[in-house]
Amino acid sequence: MLKYESISELVKAAEDSGEKISVIVLRDHAESMEKSELEVYERMETDFEIMRHSIEEGQKKDLKSMSGLTGGEGYLMKEYAQREDTLCGSFISKAMSRALAVAGCNAAMGKIVAAPTAGSCGILPGCLISMCEDKGFSEKEVIMSMFTAGAFGMVIASRASIAGAEGGCQAECGSAAAMAAAAMVEIMGGSPLQCADACAIAVAGQLGLVCDPVAGLVEIPCIKRNATGLVIAFSSADMALAGVRPKIPADECIDAMREVGDALPAALKETAGGGLATTPTGLKLREKVFG
């Protein structure tokens, strides 16, 4: 039984067995839950369908958040992605649209999958649905990769944190990007070690990111950070697949995330007491919502 306390443990288990990390994790969870592998897989399949639906809801033109501060970001990016002159290209632009859509769906009180949190809910779906719909990978391949993403998330939760209130946004969007990067490397046929490398690069790329929600709501800048976190996930996966090594192992990067999170002041950990939340405009927006 895996302990999910280190990325190196996951990598070693996969290398020793000659299997993908996802295969080991699915089997492990089926045993621990005393269910068949098919039953556990079907539960993940349900999460995949919820992700897909949240994208559809979030890309609606008239979507608005409960506060009225945000809405329509997913739609605007979807429309922009249809142009031929986007800076990031059609694939990444559409993926960003999906990430924005899921985060917007969350702000509008829609149904989402917290992957690993509601604040970072757009990154994993934005990446994985794009791999399925735009890169041509099968639903089964993508759903299986979600077991790898989940295992990496469990390690991060164990060694550091996935909560913005405890570790800042690095713990939310940083963790989600790391999970997504590892999952996409596996989908692309990368090795277990390359999955770990992608995780390390993604964590390092968002180390120190603060959690400073305007008006204390998971909207500004949270929704847009899902899109930027998605781009970090893709770039981290590509670097790992290219053979670019992170130099600092994934587990040490995660430990550093915990150290940095502990060092962040409370004002920068979801309390809306600093950062963008206390800018003049941020304070005006808070007054607009709460009076």
Q: Which fold has domain 7-290?
A: 2-methylcitrate dehydratase PrpD (1.10.4100)
- Residue 119: is its pLDDT beyond 80? yes
Confidence check: pLDDT of 63 > 90: yes
Output the pLDDT for position 213. 98
pLDDT number for residue 117: 98
Domain ranges of the chain: 7-290
According to the model, what pLDDT value does residue 1 have?
A: 76
For residues 177 and 180, give the distance between their C-alpha atoms in angstroms, rounded to a whole number: 5
Average pLDDT over residues 199-211: 98
Q: Name the band, by pLDDT with cuts 50, 70 and 90, for residue 2.
A: confident
